[in-house]
Structure 1
Amino acid sequence: MGRINTWLSALPKPTFGLRTKVILIASFLLVLPWIGYKYIQEMEQLLRQGQEQTLIGTTRAVATALNERPKLFSDQASFLESVKVGRDLYAFDLNNPIQLDGKLNDWTDYDDKMLHYGREYVQFSRRPYMDNSIHFRHMIGKYDGYLYASFAVSDEHPILRRKNATRVDRNDHLILAMTSPDGEFYRYVIAAYEDGWVNAWQIRDDITDSANLSIQTQIQGYWKTTPEGYNIELRLPLSFIGNKLGFALYDVNNRQNREIDAIIGTSNTSHQHRLGAVLVPSPEIEQILQGMGHTSTRLWVIDRHQRVLAQTGDIQKSNGVWSTSVKYASQDNSWWSAFEARFLRPLYYRFLLSEPKPFIDTGNDASLIRGVHISQALTGRGYSHWRPSADGKTMILAAAYPIWLDNNVMGAVVAEETTIGIQTLRNRALEQLFNSIIAIILIGTLTLFLFASKISSRIRRLRDEAEQAIDSQGRIQQPISPTRETDEIGDLSRSLAGMVGRLGQYNHYLENLSSRLSHELRTPVAVVRSSIENLSLQATDERSQRYIDRAQDGIQRLSTILSSMTEATRIEQSLQGAEKERFPFNELVTGCVHGYQMAFPNQRFSLDIKQAEIEVIGAPDYLAQLLDKLVANAEDFSTDEDAIEVSLTESTTMALLTVSNRGPLLPKNMSDQLFNSMVSVRPQDKQTKPHLGLGLFIARLITDFHQGTIALRNRDDLQGVEAVICLPKAPAVSNTDMATREA
């Protein structure tokens, strides 16, 4: 864990500027689209709830118009306790009239509504019923006052009526039985001589007696033989039909005896009470719905057996009341609207929104509509729920409300609407919201960015002035210009300007302190020295002489200190007027090291210099004095057994002088401070003569004058310290300049 913490602490910490921080703060503005989107979602939920209440109100209004009106339901088989599919027939609404040709092409769109009649609908069979026995597919529909019926019969041995035959029951034939609107029972027979147009014969009593048959021209049809058997299409006026209807096919397979082999049909057509009920959508209810159908809603009225009595409206146009708000919204022809339509809206609908898509909803089977809202309504309470369309591309709101008759539920009103209106309204609201939010974000971010840029530029300018005001040695280079701004940065600028001004005055005092002290102390020192010298000329005892000697030693040390202070001041002043020249630096270093060997006979020296000439531009006397200070400093900290190593190398543009000695290492965080005046880290055993730390200070002054760098550091082997001076090399001399110098 400790290693991990150490590794983490060693990682560089990221730095963020003021503008970056302001941009990060401005990024919180991006929360606004999310807040706006959540708000629009809540609004959409409220609109959905409002649409539910509105749709339930619509069904309640229609149901109120149908309540307690028994005549609307008495003829619609609504009083039956139950409805049996196949026996109780439902007349579907047809989109177009049927062409009676026996081809059944006009019934293709209603193929899913045709019912199959097989074994369970057999009423009589001379032999056991087989899979290949007679069966048929059948449905009825209404259009423009007529009832149409289709029969697709599968019969291996179709037998038609013989020409000139008086009987109609000794061949394949169709019996049609019904009750009239007045409740009277009627039976009709369809029997064809050949393929083609057929009419119905009304049966008054026994079908075997032709005298009991009379033609009924209002009931028309077409008989057509097919490879599977035959097809029959019929048409009869709706005014003929009451609330009972049944069909039965009589099958004859033997051409000799022509006996009936099987009877299969929707119901028993021999007796009125055995007929199935027929439900024909109510014209009266449709008229009521038409009066209320001028809304964007699809309306249904069903009986208690969940069969449709009337219908109006188109689900493709049932967008709800909210679609009106979008449809009749004012159009804006401004440049912003054009920009939004061309750039922003495609962007929104690519990533955020979705356009309402065309959908397909096949609707319910009109003969039996199911749904939880239907079940709830038929139990006596209004209910609404959402369901997906048949293709799942949109949501449809369905609501149902019961229709009452003598405290009994006789049916329900069903209304359906899509959410396209709400979706379109939501999209428009989101577009306007996103437009406003984008404008706010852009303007806010730009304003904050410009504000942060101005603040950061002012702070950066103040930082640059502060850095330029004080050099690396802590001397005041130039004052800080105070600003007139009245904010906190302006206050800071004026405070820093005042502080730098006071520091400049103090530094000026410190810089002149040494010269003033040396000037003021020389006279007292001279007086004391002369007095001690005069005193020493008089005869004194041994004890007094010892005190005189100690006083003379102290005066000598004080004179040395004053000389050092004067030297530092003098060098600093003389460097300002010194002239530079081009000279070989390696020869200077070699000569100086040879002199050090004689000046310090007990100290060993090691010299490492390349034979190639290394030229610099500078003042040789001062560079020699620089080397003197470094060697003297190294000699103070080294022993006589260890050599002081002096080396001179070069790079492309720099000359590198290194003075290295074995000895104590540098204290931590003191390498830079040792170049300041009055700073020294010599131990007590090295204090045999006064040291004010001015040697390295003078070395730094000379290095700065030559535009070089000086540094103290511990050696790589941690056995001592080395001083490294980098001086710029003199630029290369061309052949022309060389010839000029030689001349």
Structure 2
Amino acid sequence: MSLRRKLLLVALCTLALPIAGWLYVRQMEALLRDGQAQALLASAGAVARSLVVTGAVPPASGRSWYVQPAPGPITVDGYGDDWAPLTPWSQSLGQHGKLLLTEDGDGLYLYAVVREIQRTRADADDANALAADHLILTLGNATGQRRYLLTSAAPGPLVAQPLDPTVDGLPDLLAAQWQEDGSGYQVELRLPRSLHLRVLGVGVYDAAAGGDRMASDTRGLLSYSDKLSGELAQLVPDRVQARVLAPQGWLLARTGRLNSAPGADGQPGWFASLVYRSLLATRLEDASPWSQDVPRLDTPEVSQAGAGKPVAVWRSGEERGSVVLAAAVPLERAGKVDGVLLLEQASRTVPLLANRALFGLLLTSFGVLLVAGGILLAFATRLSLRLGRLRNAAERAQLNDGRLDGLFEQGRFPMTDAPDEIGDLARSFERLFEVVDGYTDYLRTLASKLSHELNTPLAIVKSSLDNLEHAALPAEAQPYLARARDGVARLGALVRAMSESSRMERSITAAEPEDVDLRDVVRGCADAYRALIGTRRLDCVLPDTPLRLHCAPELIAQALDKLLDNALSFTPEHGWLRLSLSAATDGAEIELANQGPLLPEAMQGRLFDSLVSLRDKATPGDAPHLGLGLYVVRLVAERHGGIASARNLDDGSGVAFSLRLRGMPRQRLSG
């Protein structure tokens, strides 16, 4: 992984800032909401105590029937078309029945639906009417209670028959409508408001199931109270909606409306609302069970308050971007819950402030992240460039054999003046290259120094051997004299070769370049070699177009001579050689391949060093081979800005030596 990528990963660690900020904003939002919830619970408790003290809420009397306000004119015909808006809040009647109650200025309306498949029919005035399917209606006022029988043998109007003695204020006969279908029957009737009913009972008798024919479920009546709503309006704070509910959740009074209009800070957009609901307010209840116009609230919070436990909850508002805080407290009198007070307050401030804090924090954090990432990226880029300069300088300063290319003649090592650790590294490199340069120069001139120093001792030894030849020596000493003379000859050849190597390096350095067509150079060498290779075959492969290069042709020919001499030493008598010339991307390449043994892996990187040879050791009396030929080839290649290399052929039939030449630099003529 590059240095810039590593520093980029370090910069990404600053992402912990927005994450920590988000957790902080979320915690602050929760604390803010908790504070508002406690304040609203305190207000609800104060209002509840006032309602209890003033006796505005009637005492709870157990189970009750709820009478809903009429949604419109009610026609007593036995059909449920007029009752459709009230159907979702019907009340259970027995095991298979539903009861709806509503009232308007004309009276109290009752609509009962009973689902029965098996029917037993009779009219109310029949002797066996109580044995048929029927309803028992119980009416009660301040004087007493009276029961009525409602049944019919056919759909249409019916007259309810009283089952009990006369009670003041209660009618003797009741008119009703009976309708039925394949699933059961429906009964609808109207009771005058003058009855002043306190309780109402309805019982369903199924002849097929049996049971008590006279039983009815008698309960008190609950309904929406305008008087209680007026008293509630005087106690509730501004911009708060209040509802008084029966312990079962039925609506008894209501005042105020939720203020869902946008405030001074505006209305949150859909994206801001989404961010608030998904990232901050993760505990919002659904708004649908809390509708403002329903006659009954059936939520866990209302049930808890009905059981005597105050509770507060945050829910989604009906308007986009709003949230609603609801606080439900019990209305208790003498340890008994008479109802539930529900206060609701819409709030746009919490989402707006939380979103504003979150977005501000995110923008600041990401701004800091971008700035820190940019600074780290710039620092990493500069550091990479500086290290790259050191790497390039080190690669340019040294050759494959450890020699330096004259970097210090052009100037000092780069960035040695820098005061930081990179400068220390550059100065260390500079000192290292100075030492390596001095040692390499010593090794380069060692051959000429040794050849010069060895000439005098060799001359003394040779003259001594010449004198010994003229002296009378015993016969057994003659072999030792011959061996000494052979050793002196080999040592003299070695000294001459070392001296020749030094002169050759100087001659290669002093060679003058010219523009030539390399095809002519290679072709001429190939024609000359065919007379020297005996029975071997030499193929010459040249390009079709001229291949011109600014070079020293005599040096290239000399290098090819060394390569041919090396190849002939390993090519069988009837083997083959191939000399080829091809164009390269930055110059030319000359390759001489020959049939013969493969190169050892350990020697491929040392073949072009001085005094290295793979030929068999010469026998006494033969001229020694000093391994300077391929060294000369390397010097010629480097003089032309290229390299010399050797490889085994892919088919394993032999080896190939190649010269990659880029050309010699052109010299400027000074005026």
Instruction: Identify the residue that residue 401 of structure 1 maps to in structure 2.
Output: 329
Residue of 45, 50, 66 corresponding to 1:60: 45
Q: Secondary structure at the match of 1:675?
A: coil
What is the rounded CA distance, in whole Å, between the counterparts of 1:719 and 1:461 in structure 2? 44
Q: Which amino acid aligns with 1:663?
A: G
Residues 270 and 321, structure 2, Cα contact 8 Å, conserved in 1: no
Alignment of 1:704-723 (within 5 A): 704-723=638-657
Q: CA RMSD in A?
A: 4.9
What is the rounded CA distance, in whole Å, between the counterparts of 1:453 and 1:41 in structure 2? 38
Instruction: Identify the residue that residue 264 of structure 1 maps to in structure 2.
Output: 189
What is the rounded CA distance, in whole Å, between the counterparts of 1:456 and 1:361 in structure 2? 64
Residue of 222, 242, 250 corresponding to 1:299: 242
1:166-215 Cα deviation digits (max 9, x unpaired): xxxxxxxxxxx998xxx899xxxxxxxxxxxxxxxxxxxxxxxxxxxxxx
Residue of 545, 555, 569 corresponding to 1:622: 555
Instruction: Identify the residue that residue 224 of structure 1 maps to in structure 2.
Output: none
Residue of 415, 418, 422 corresponding to 2:343: 415
Residues 48 and 330, structure 2, Cα contact 8 Å, conserved in 1: yes
Residues 588 and 620, structure 1, Cα contact 8 Å, conserved in 2: no
Q: Which amino acid aligns with 1:511?
A: R
What is the rounded CA distance, in whole Å, between the counterparts of 2:188 and 2:577 in structure 1? 131
Is the alpha carbon distance of 1:116 and 1:313 closer, same or farther for their aligned partners in structure 2, counting shifts above 3 Å? closer
The reply to whether residue 489 of structure 1 matches residue 399 of structure 2 is: no
Residues 86 and 100, structure 2, Cα contact 8 Å, conserved in 1: no
Q: Secondary structure at the match of 2:235?
A: helix
Is the alpha carbon distance of 1:79 and 1:541 closer, same or farther for their aligned partners in structure 2, counting shifts above 3 Å? closer
Instruction: Identify the residue that residue 474 of structure 2 maps to in structure 1.
Output: 541
1:554-587 Cα deviation digits (max 9, x unpaired): 1111111112111221111112222234362144
Q: Secondary structure at the match of 1:292?
A: coil
Alignment of 1:250-399 (within 5 A): 250=175, 264-266=189-191, 277=221, 279-281=223-225, 283=227, 286-294=230-238, 296-304=239-247, 306-317=249-260, 349=272, 363=291, 367-385=295-313, 396-399=324-327
What is the rounded CA distance, in whole Å, between the counterparts of 1:729 and 1:484 in structure 2? 35
Residues 592 and 624, structure 1, Cα contact 8 Å, conserved in 2: no
1:506 shift after superposition: 0.8
Please list every run of 5 or more consecutive structure 1 residues that lacks an aligned counterpart in the other structure.
1-15, 103-107, 121-135, 142-146, 154-176, 186-227, 230-243, 254-261, 332-340, 598-602, 731-743
Alignment of 1:118-129 (within 5 A): none
Alignment of 1:96-115 (within 5 A): 112-113=85-86
Q: Secondary structure at the match of 2:339?
A: strand
Alignment of 1:414-433 (within 5 A): 414-418=342-346, 420-433=348-361
1:443 shift after superposition: 0.7
1:494 shift after superposition: 1.0
Q: Greater shift after overlay, 476-485 or 514-523?
A: 476-485
Instruction: Identify the residue that residue 591 of structure 2 maps to in structure 1.
Output: 658
Alignment of 1:206-245 (within 5 A): none
The reply to whether residue 631 of structure 1 matches residue 564 of structure 2 is: yes
1:696 shift after superposition: 0.7
What is the rounded CA distance, in whole Å, between the counterparts of 2:596 and 2:576 in structure 1? 10
1:710 shift after superposition: 2.5
Residues 656 and 724, structure 1, Cα contact 8 Å, conserved in 2: yes
Q: Which amino acid aligns with 1:265?
A: R
State the percentage of identical aligned residues. Answer: 29
What is the rounded CA distance, in whole Å, between the counterparts of 1:425 and 1:646 in structure 2? 86
Instruction: Identify the residue that residue 447 of structure 1 maps to in structure 2.
Output: 375
1:630-668 Cα deviation digits (max 9, x unpaired): 1222233344x3435142344488665433333332222
Residue of 620, 626, 634 corresponding to 1:700: 634
Instruction: Identify the residue that residue 115 of structure 2 maps to in structure 1.
Output: none
Residue of 646, 652, 677 corresponding to 2:610: 677
Residues 395 and 418, structure 1, Cα contact 8 Å, conserved in 2: yes
What is the rounded CA distance, in whole Å, between the counterparts of 2:394 and 2:640 in structure 1? 25
Residues 247 and 340, structure 2, Cα contact 8 Å, conserved in 1: yes
What is the rounded CA distance, in whole Å, between the counterparts of 2:227 and 2:421 in structure 1? 86
Q: Which amino acid aligns with 2:538?
A: L
Q: Secondary structure at the match of 2:488?
A: helix
Residues 577 and 595, structure 2, Cα contact 8 Å, conserved in 1: no
Q: Which amino acid aligns with 1:501?
A: E
What is the rounded CA distance, in whole Å, between the counterparts of 1:416 and 1:455 in structure 2? 62
Q: Secondary structure at the match of 2:629?
A: helix
Is the alpha carbon distance of 1:661 and 1:279 closer, same or farther for their aligned partners in structure 2, counting shifts above 3 Å? closer
The reply to whether residue 84 of structure 1 matches residue 78 of structure 2 is: no
Is the alpha carbon distance of 1:59 and 1:683 closer, same or farther for their aligned partners in structure 2, counting shifts above 3 Å? farther
Residues 322 and 351, structure 2, Cα contact 8 Å, conserved in 1: no
1:139 shift after superposition: 3.7
1:233-279 Cα deviation digits (max 9, x unpaired): xxxxxxxxxxx9999974799xxxxxxxx993348966866677464
Instruction: Identify the residue that residue 528 of structure 2 maps to in structure 1.
Output: 592
The reply to whether residue 523 of structure 1 matches residue 481 of structure 2 is: no
Q: Secondary structure at the match of 2:577?
A: strand
Instruction: Identify the residue that residue 560 of structure 1 maps to in structure 2.
Output: 493
Residues 247 and 269, structure 1, Cα contact 8 Å, conserved in 2: no
1:495 shift after superposition: 0.6
1:432 shift after superposition: 0.9
What is the rounded CA distance, in whole Å, between the counterparts of 1:586 and 1:273 in structure 2? 129
Residue of 567, 580, 603 corresponding to 2:513: 580
The reply to whether residue 725 of structure 1 matches residue 659 of structure 2 is: yes
Residue of 437, 453, 458 corresponding to 2:386: 458
What is the rounded CA distance, in whole Å, between the counterparts of 2:341 and 2:367 in structure 1? 48
1:447 shift after superposition: 0.8
Q: Which amino acid aligns with 2:482?
A: D
The reply to whether residue 504 of structure 1 matches residue 456 of structure 2 is: no
Q: Secondary structure at the match of 1:84?
A: strand
What is the rounded CA distance, in whole Å, between the counterparts of 1:712 and 1:620 in structure 2? 22
Q: Secondary structure at the match of 1:637?
A: coil
Normalised by the size of structure 1, how large is the TM-score?
A: 0.64
Q: Secondary structure at the match of 2:351?
A: helix
1:711-738 Cα deviation digits (max 9, x unpaired): 21112221332212345699xxxxxxxx
Residues 22 and 452, structure 1, Cα contact 8 Å, conserved in 2: yes
Is the alpha carbon distance of 1:646 and 1:278 closer, same or farther for their aligned partners in structure 2, counting shifts above 3 Å? closer
Normalised by the size of structure 2, how large is the TM-score?
A: 0.71
1:90 shift after superposition: 4.9
1:451 shift after superposition: 0.9
Is the alpha carbon distance of 1:148 and 1:91 closer, same or farther for their aligned partners in structure 2, counting shifts above 3 Å? farther
Is the alpha carbon distance of 1:20 and 1:565 closer, same or farther for their aligned partners in structure 2, counting shifts above 3 Å? same
Aligned length: 566
Residues 321 and 348, structure 2, Cα contact 8 Å, conserved in 1: no
Q: Secondary structure at the match of 1:264?
A: strand
1:510 shift after superposition: 1.0
